[in-house]
A = this chain, B = another copy of it.
């Protein structure tokens, strides 16, 4: 349940609408917690009920209105409380590694295709995070700029350092995945002709089945 804390953290930058939060939590942006708007709007209402945030109705244009949410004192305290709370680890659930573990039920081409997609996906992520890190270090990334503008100068080094830490971690993970995909592709090559394996394993497995 960290959607709550990610949105609280974003609202410490400045008041925002659900729509803007939804854009920031879009997975393609590369931030640390993604969520669709269908999850965000109800969560904002719940947080409002809990007193963590407050909505202000602001007119836009002639007829329309938007709800601009501001974090409250209670909301900041909740964020601090969560930050100090010990954090458990989610159970292991890695579908790509799982597929790789059972490539003997796949075809050599499909296995290669999977690893190439993996390479593409994580390379794109690495590029994204490299750029983001550059923007963090130079303090030019817009979201960071907006944050620094609101916080006193003596906190800037720490704020920048922590954002840097987090995305260095993401980047390191991406590089580990890229290396893994490359090594795995090489290993696939070395296994030579696997054409027969799929058929044989399938037959063997069916053998158990019809025992």
Q: Is A140 an interface residue (CB 8 A)?
A: no
Q: In the complex this chain forms, how many copies of it are found?
A: 2
Q: Which residue from chain B places its CB closest to the CB of A115 in the assembled complex?
A: B165
- Identity of the chain B residue whose Cβ is nearest the Cβ of A11 in the assembled complex: B208
Known contacts: A27-B92, A83-B102. The answer to whether A209 contacts B73 by CB under 8 A is: yes
Cα of A82 to Cα of B99 in the assembled complex, Å: 8
Residues of the B chain whose Cβ atoms lie less than 8 Å from the Cβ of A92: 27, 30-34
CA distance A164 to B210 in the complex (A): 29
Chain A 48-80, CB-CB to B under 8 Å as 1, else 0, gives: 000000100000000000000011110111011
Q: Are A97 and B175 in contact (CB under 8 A)?
A: no
A164-186 interface (Cβ within 8 A of B): 164-170, 172-173, 175-177, 179-180, 183-184
Do A205 and B83 touch across chains, with their CB atoms under 8 A apart? no
In the complex, which residue of chain B has the Cβ closest to the Cβ of A36? B91
- Of residues 81 through 139 on chain A, the ones whose CB sits less than 8 Å from some CB of chain B are 82-84, 86-87, 89-107, 110, 113-114, 117, 121
A211 touches B93 (CB 8 A): no
Q: Provided the pairs A72-B209, A92-B31, A180-B169 are in contact, do residues A104 and B201 lie with their beta carbons within 8 angstroms? A: no
Is the CB–CB distance between B2 and A166 below 8 Å? no
User: Known: A12-B205, A209-B72. Is A106-B89 also a contact (CB below 8 A)?
Assistant: no
A72-B209, A83-B110 known; 9 other A-B pairs, CB under 8 Å? A12-B208, A71-B209, A84-B106, A87-B117, A90-B95, A150-B204, A151-B200, A152-B204, A169-B177
Instruction: Identify 13 residue pairs between A and B in the complex whose beta-carbon atoms are under 8 Å apart, listed by A's number.
Output: A32-B92, A32-B94, A32-B97, A33-B92, A75-B209, A83-B99, A83-B110, A84-B107, A87-B99, A101-B167, A102-B162, A152-B204, A165-B180
